[in-house]
Amino acid sequence: MKFGDKLISLRKKQGLSQEELAEKLKVSRQSVSKWESNNTYPETDKIIQICNIFNCNMDDLINDKITDIDQLERVSKSKLNIDSFLEFLTKTINVFSNMSFSSCLKCLVELFILGLILFLVGGFIYSILDYILLKAFSFINYKNGLRNLLEAILILIWLVFSIIILIYYFKVKYLDEFEQLSINKEKETTKKLNNTKPLKEEKNKIKVNFKHEPFAFLSILSKIGLLAIKFITTLIICSFICILFIFLVIFIILIPLCLDATLILGINISLFSTIIFIGVLTLAMLFFIFNKKISFKVTLITTTTSFLFIALGVAITILCLKDMTFKSNKDEYIEKQMYKKELTYNDKMFFEFNDSYYPDINYIIDNSLETNKILLSAEYDKALLKLNLNNSIESDLVNYTLNFDSNYQFKDIYEDFSKNLRNKVVKNYSYIPISNIKIRANEETINKLLANYSKLYLANINKTSTGYKVKYIDDKIEINGWCDVEYYVNANKLEIYNSDCMCKKETMDTRYGQKIVFNCQEMDV
């Protein structure tokens, strides 16, 4: 099979027209037509480019004894990766052996700077993706090493990508330039031997052509990196779908309120535009995963329009906010109610009110009460809340705390919110009105309760005329890591339930007392 016939078969297998192949080779369509009709043969440098485009061996391409085009591809593919890697090493050695010391140093400095840039960019991208993925999929149990697997995949993706970039940069900037100079030099020598006029002197700087084909041995790394990128993209799509669902529900809920306030209209415009923007990104990522083409023009117009409408919605919202009045339900009691509970003290008992919903706790000394008798009281809004006292074992102590359930239904909040909007009022519904929490007991019992509380928590304990006021500051015992461990404060002992886990104890002095930190990690077996 002649060269021209092989060229036609290879071109058609890749779905290229004569014009497209000519554009890749920087020649005219007529030149390609002459090659395929076997009227002329391309120059050596063009044959090399053809081999790179169709991933075939030059000897097999010009050997007329190879009659089967599939045989040509099988032969070339069997040698592809090893031969291309050896070719890369050979060319690299030749380039450095023919370069001056200053040129070698310049090349290494360029590669080092590029590698440093890729390292910094990779670290930034890794931190963002790590935060997004681990937060979006925080429900996954990472004790089984899934977190380490995700981190390894992220690092592997960028490592493969960086290696490809560095090798490709070195190939385009130095190897291809050296090859082109060698070809020109060979042509000039041939012309001189044939007593013809020498070619014009080539410029030292060869124009970079980014349409060159990469070395074949990089294809394996590229495929690994591509699969890993698609895996991460799939996880991001899952999180985007969840976000789209939440935003869509909020958008639908706010639609009736747009008639009551321009403020909500502005928010909904921004919200709808954000939904469109995230939807376009999700669609683009789906097209990428399934190797489908997406119209760049349509994508650009859609995203640009979305940004403009997001900005419009934000502007409307900001303009409306200056006319709004902000209120809180902090001191608005609908049905004020006192919660009262009588308890009996035991040696492992303490009260915890560490949440932001609770104010400072007052321990009232009342020596008229019997020993071990405790009276707990709190003021709350009966129309909004339902209070109950629960206890649970924490470390080897018993934790008593007030839990609340909301009586305020979504329908009530929605109607109240709509009414306030019409009056240009924005109300904060996040505050839970619980106040005047008091723990009343004799002085001995109060001191025991505070002593037990101080075993687990650092707090600001101030003496008052009636007893003590306690404000939570921080946990006294902090355990970091995913190991299954438990600390027993009375025995001052950390129980480790994982045989392959190791914990390191550290202590820190604070103005409220000593903090104990255990850093635990699973050891490689």
Which helix (H) or strand (E) segment is 73 a member of? helix 69-98
C-alpha dihedral (290, 292, 298, 301), degrees to nearest 10:
40
Sheet holding 336-344, edge to edge: 336-344, 373-381, 434-441, 361-365, 467-475, 457-463
> What is the mean predicted confidence (pLDDT) over 76-86?
54
Report how far residue 252's alpha carbon sits from residue 268's, in angstroms, rounded to the nearest whole number. 9
Per-residue pLDDT of 139-188, as tens digits, reads 554 444 566 677 777 787 778 778 877 887 787 777 777 766 766 666 56
Per-residue pLDDT of 98-107, as tens digits, reads 777 777 788 8
Has domain 3-127+166-195 been given CATH number 1.10.260.40? yes
Report how far residue 360's alpha carbon sits from residue 455's, in angstroms, rounded to the nearest whole number. 19
Give residue 185's identity as a one-letter amino acid code: K
Task: Say if residue 66's pLDDT is above 80.
Answer: no
> What is the mean predicted confidence (pLDDT) over 300-320?
90
For residue 70, the model assigns a pLDDT of: 57
| Pairing between β-strand 361-365 and β-strand 434-441 as defined by DSSP bridges | parallel
Which range, 63-77, 123-137, 191-205, 463-477, has the best average confidence (pLDDT)? 463-477
For residue 439, the model assigns a pLDDT of: 95
Enumerate the H helices of 99-194 as residue ranges: 101-136, 146-170, 176-193
Report the candidate in 399, 424, 419, 233 with the shortest Cα–Cα distance to residue 323: 424
For residue 359, the model assigns a pLDDT of: 67
Among the residue ranges 56-60, 77-81, 122-126, the one predicted with the least confidence is: 77-81
Task: Say if residue 520's pLDDT is above 60.
Answer: yes
Report how far residue 183's alpha carbon sits from residue 205's, in angstroms, rounded to the nearest whole number. 15
CA atoms 75, 79, 84, 87: torsion sign: negative
- pTM greater than the 0.75 cutoff: no
The band of 190, judged by pLDDT with boundaries at 50, 70 and 90, is low
For residue 515, the model assigns a pLDDT of: 93
Q: In the numeric block, which tokens belong to residue 438?
A: 């008091």
Angle at the Cα of 190 from the Cα atoms of 184 and 195, rounded to 5 degrees: 125
Enumerate long-range contacts of 236-244, CB under 8 Å, 24 or more apart.
236/132, 236/133, 236/285, 237/282, 237/285, 237/286, 237/289, 238/136, 239/132, 239/133, 239/136, 239/137, 240/278, 240/281, 240/282, 240/285, 241/282, 242/136, 243/278, 244/275, 244/278, 244/279, 244/282
> What is the mean predicted confidence (pLDDT) over 223-247?
81
Task: Say if residue 459's pLDDT is above 80.
Answer: yes
Domain-by-domain residue ranges, the chain? 3-127+166-195, 221-323, 336-409+423-474, 478-522
Report the candidate in 26, 89, 86, 79 with the shortest Cα–Cα distance to residue 56: 79
For residue 41, the model assigns a pLDDT of: 82
> What is the mean predicted confidence (pLDDT) over 414-437?
76
Report the candidate in 443, 52, 368 with the shortest Cα–Cα distance to residue 215: 52
Mean residue pLDDT of the chain comes to: 79
Task: Say if residue 206's pLDDT is above 70.
Answer: no
Task: Say if residue 445's pLDDT is above 90.
Answer: yes
Q: Are 268 and 251 in contact (CB under 8 A)?
A: yes
Q: Are 272 and 310 in contact (CB under 8 A)?
A: no
> What is the mean predicted confidence (pLDDT) over 440-451?
94
For residue 203, the model assigns a pLDDT of: 40
